[in-house]
Chain A
Amino acid sequence: MGTFIQLVIDGLSAGSIYAALALAIVLVNQATGLINFAQGGMAVLAAYFAYSFLQWGVPLILAILLSMLVSFVLGALIERFLMRRFEQGDPDTAVVVTIGLLTLITGLCGWIWSFNNLQFPSLFPLQNVNILGAVVSVRSIGTTLVIVGIMILLQLLFIGTKLGLALRAVAVNPQSAAFSGLPVGRLLMVGWGLAAALGAIAGALIAPSLTLTPGMMDAALVYALAAVILGGLSSPIGVVVAAWMIGVLENLAAVYVPFIGFDLKIAVPFILIFIVLIVRPQGLFGRKDVVRV
Chain B
Amino acid sequence: MSTLRKKARITSVVAGIGIVAVLAAGCARGTAGDDTGDATEGPAEASPGITDTSITLGITSPLTGPTAGPGNCTVDGALAYFGVKNAEGGIEFGDGKTRTVEIKAYDDTYDPQKALANFQQMVSDGVFAAGIGLGTPTNRAWREAAIDEEVPQVLVMTGDPIFSDREESPWQLGLVPIYQQEGGAFGEMLASSTEDHKVAILSQNDDYGDGYVEGFKEAIAGADNIEVVKELTYEATDTSVDAQLTELAASGADVFFNAMSITPLVISSLKKTEELGWTPNWFLPSNTSSPGGILQQPDVHADVFPGIYTVAFSQSAASPTFAESEEGAAFLEAIAEYTNQEGVPAFPHCVWSWIAGATLEQAFAEMTEPTRENFMEALLSIQDYSAPFMLEGSVIDTTADGKPAVSDVLVQKYNGKGYAPAEQFG
B246 in complex: contacting residue of A7, A106, A117, A213, CB < 8 Å = A7
Residues in chain B near residue A210, CB distance under 8 A: 239, 264
Residues in chain A near residue B243, CB distance under 8 A: 7, 10-11, 251, 254-255, 262
B175 within 8 A of A: no
CA A121 to CA B64, docked complex, whole Å: 25
B89 within 8 A of A: no
Residues in chain A near residue B346, CB distance under 8 A: 116-117
Using known A-B contacts A3-B246, A10-B246, determine if residue A211 contacts B233 with beta carbons closer than 8 Å. no
Cβ contact within 8 Å between A209 and B275: no
Q: Mark B252-286, 1 if CB is under 8 A from A, else 0.
A: 00000000000110011000000111000000000
A93 within 8 A of B: no
Using known A-B contacts A114-B340, A117-B69, A219-B237, determine if residue A255 contacts B247 with beta carbons closer than 8 Å. yes
CA A261 to CA B205, docked complex, whole Å: 12
Cβ contact within 8 Å between B64 and A135: no
CA A121 to CA B65, docked complex, whole Å: 24
Using known A-B contacts A3-B247, A117-B263, A209-B268, determine if residue A135 contacts B342 with beta carbons closer than 8 Å. no
B72 within 8 A of A: yes
Using known A-B contacts A7-B246, A115-B72, A263-B233, determine if residue A209 contacts B240 with beta carbons closer than 8 Å. yes
CA A208 to CA B238, docked complex, whole Å: 16
Question: Closest CB of chain B to A249's CB: distance in Å?
Answer: 12
B298 within 8 A of A: yes
CA A14 to CA B298, docked complex, whole Å: 21
Interface residues of A in 246-266 (CB under 8 A from B): 251, 254-255, 261-263, 266
A110 within 8 A of B: yes
A155 within 8 A of B: no
B24 within 8 A of A: no
Residues in chain B near residue A7, CB distance under 8 A: 243, 246
Question: Closest CB of chain B to A279's CB: distance in Å?
Answer: 28
Cβ contact within 8 Å between A262 and B250: no
Interface residues of A in 176-231 (CB under 8 A from B): 209-211, 213-215, 218-220
A26 within 8 A of B: no
Interface residues of A in 1-47 (CB under 8 A from B): 2-3, 6-7, 10-11, 13-14, 17
A175 within 8 A of B: no
B228 within 8 A of A: no
B239 in complex: contacting residue of A3, A220, A255, CB < 8 Å = A220
B287 within 8 A of A: no
B68 within 8 A of A: yes
Residues in chain B near residue A290, CB distance under 8 A: none
Residues in chain A near residue B268, CB distance under 8 A: 209
Question: Closest CB of chain B to A166's CB: distance in Å?
Answer: 36
Cβ contact within 8 Å between B264 and A117: yes
CA A251 to CA B275, docked complex, whole Å: 18
Number of interface residues of B (CB under 8 A): 37
Cβ contact within 8 Å between B342 and A116: yes
Q: Mark A54-91, 1 if CB is under 8 A from B, else 0.
A: 00000000000000000000000000000000000000
A119 within 8 A of B: yes
Using known A-B contacts A219-B239, A220-B239, determine if residue A211 contacts B342 with beta carbons closer than 8 Å. no
B38 within 8 A of A: no
Question: Closest CB of chain A to B309's CB: distance in Å?
Answer: 23
Q: Mark B314-351, 1 if CB is under 8 A from A, else 0.
A: 00000000000000000000000000111000110000
Q: Mark B61-85, 1 if CB is under 8 A from A, else 0.
A: 0001110110110000000000000
CA A10 to CA B246, docked complex, whole Å: 10
Question: Closest CB of chain A to B344's CB: distance in Å?
Answer: 10
Interface residues of A in 87-124 (CB under 8 A from B): 106-107, 110, 114-117, 119, 121
Cβ contact within 8 Å between B240 and A211: no
Residues in chain B near residue A6, CB distance under 8 A: 246, 276
Question: Closest CB of chain A to B291's CB: distance in Å?
Answer: 15
Counting chain A CB atoms within 10 Å of each CB, the highest count among B237, B242, B297 belongs to B242
Question: Closest CB of chain B to A286's CB: distance in Å?
Answer: 26
A271 within 8 A of B: no
A161 within 8 A of B: no
Select from chain B the residue with minimum beta-carbon distance to A5: B246
CA A255 to CA B251, docked complex, whole Å: 13
CA A114 to CA B345, docked complex, whole Å: 11
CA A243 to CA B239, docked complex, whole Å: 15
Cβ contact within 8 Å between A115 and B69: yes
Using known A-B contacts A128-B275, A255-B247, determine if residue A262 contacts B232 with beta carbons closer than 8 Å. yes
Using known A-B contacts A128-B275, A255-B247, determine if residue A10 contacts B240 with beta carbons closer than 8 Å. yes
Residues in chain B near residue A117, CB distance under 8 A: 69, 263-264, 346
Select from chain A the residue with minimum beta-carbon distance to B62: A115
Select from chain A the residue with minimum beta-carbon distance to B69: A115
Residues in chain B near residue A121, CB distance under 8 A: 298
Using known A-B contacts A219-B238, A262-B233, A262-B244, determine if residue A211 contacts B341 with beta carbons closer than 8 Å. no
CA A261 to CA B238, docked complex, whole Å: 14
Question: Closest CB of chain A to B305's CB: distance in Å?
Answer: 17
CA A41 to CA B216, docked complex, whole Å: 39
CA A45 to CA B96, docked complex, whole Å: 52
Residues in chain A near residue B340, CB distance under 8 A: 114
Cβ contact within 8 Å between B342 and A115: no
Residues in chain B near residue A251, CB distance under 8 A: 243
Can you offer 19 A-B residue contacts whose CB atoms are under 8 A?
A10-B243, A14-B240, A106-B64, A107-B64, A114-B341, A115-B71, A116-B69, A116-B342, A116-B347, A119-B297, A135-B275, A137-B275, A214-B68, A218-B66, A219-B239, A255-B243, A261-B233, A263-B205, A266-B235
User: What 9 pairs across the A-B complex have the smallest Cβ distances?
Assistant: A115-B68, A211-B264, A10-B242, A251-B243, A116-B346, A115-B69, A135-B275, A6-B246, A126-B299
